[in-house]
Amino acid sequence: MGGCGCGGAASPLTCTVLWLLVFVCVARVGGRDVGSKALVAARLRHERGFSRHHQQHYQQFIGSISGNSDSGSSTNNAAETAEDSQDPKILTPRSTHVSTRVGQAATFNCVVRHLGNRQVSWIRGRDLHVLSSGQVTFSSDARLSVSHSEDSWTLTIKFSQPRDAGTYSCQVNTQPPQAVWYNLTVIEARANILGKEIIYLQSGSTVSLVCVIKEQLVIPGLVLWYQDDRLVERQSSRVKVSTTVTNVTTSTLTVEAARLQDSGNYSCWPSAGRPDSVLVHVIQGDPPAAMQHGSSAPGACPLLLVPMALTSLMFLLT
């Protein structure tokens, strides 16, 4: 077979066509490399035209785009991870002992961090009664209320009574549940009338009843005296009431020129406290010896001897 050169038997037109085919094949095989190299060379020439200042701004711009995107994603992921890892936690107070006085309010404060969608409940210890969940109360006692501010959940018992004393729990419904227990002490003022429980005195004499209250009163100095169910006037021609407040509260009731109608049960009532009482008998003439010695039941012993005397008498008659 003859060669592909133009000097062979092939016509000039045929040689031309063959050379064109060879050129096209070579161009297809190496075109991409040639084009890529050309583009790279052009880009290098173009970049050489940039000043260093422009190149820095270009790199900073590209870096800020990629950096902000990555930083924002990392921040969001970190926040989500932190949020997921922060479970509810009750902060234990320095003291779980709550003290109040009769008639005053008792307040329990519970601090819970990262509560999320959990609920805070208050439970009474003596009967495990759920008093509240969230800010909803489950008690018919209008004295109970729950308030919420940020991370603080506060249970308040108004006008505390001795029956309110005991334990109370702040709980969060996690698994397992978290709880802090509080102990409530309700201090009740107690009156103590000095001397005997039964007093006998002659008409026309003077009697003084001294009442001492060691606990602090809800209303300092407020002590009331009653004769039976009647409030004793603090100042009259014969009756006087004086009260002093120091470390203790002392109230003195003085009855001058006692009369028969002054007899009765005298009670000393501290404000929002427990009273004490004595029985006063005003008699005419000298009191019996047993009364003078303060016997609370002077006829008790003779009455016990009556059945024995009757039995002996019947035995003798028979």
pLDDT tens-digit series, residues 220-269? 889 999 999 999 988 888 999 999 999 999 999 999 999 999 999 999 99
Model confidence at 94: pLDDT above 60 = yes
Q: Which pLDDT belongs to residue 286?
A: 67
pLDDT confidence tier of residue 317, bands split at 50, 70 and 90: very low
Q: How far apart are CA 52 and CA 46, in angstroms?
A: 13
The predicted structure's pLDDT at residue 252:
96
Model confidence band, residue 18 (pLDDT cutoffs 50, 70, 90)? low
The four Cα atoms 310, 311, 315, 318 give a dihedral, to 10 degrees, of: 60
Residue 89, beta-bridge partner list: 113
Query: Residue 187: which residues within 8 A CB-CB, separation 6 or more?
Result: 99, 100, 101, 102, 215, 216
- Residue-wise burial string across 251-281, b where 16 or more C-beta atoms lie within 10 A, e elsewhere: bbbebeebeeebbbebbbbbbbbebbbbebe
Whether the CB-CB separation of 189 and 102 falls below 8 Å is answered with yes
Q: What pLDDT digit, counting tens, does each position of 38-58 carry?
A: 444 444 444 444 444 444 544
CATH 2.60.40.10: which residues of the chain?
Answer: 89-187, 190-297
Q: Note whether 271 and 217 are within 8 A (CB).
A: yes
* CATH homologous superfamily of 190-297: Immunoglobulins (2.60.40.10)
Predicted pLDDT of residue 20: 53
Superfamily of domain 89-187: Immunoglobulins (2.60.40.10)
Q: Is the pTM of this model over 0.75?
A: no
How far is it, in rounded angstroms, from Cα 21 to Cα 12? 14
**Average pLDDT over all residues of the chain:** 76
For residues 18 and 4, the answer to whether their CB atoms sit within 8 Å is: yes
CB 136 within 8 A of CB 149: no
Q: Nearest Cα to 161, choosing from 99, 97, 103?
A: 103
Does the pLDDT of residue 199 top 90, yes or no?
yes
Instruction: Convert the pLDDT of each residue in 97-145 to its tens digit.
Output: 999 999 999 999 999 999 989 999 999 999 999 999 999 999 999 999 9
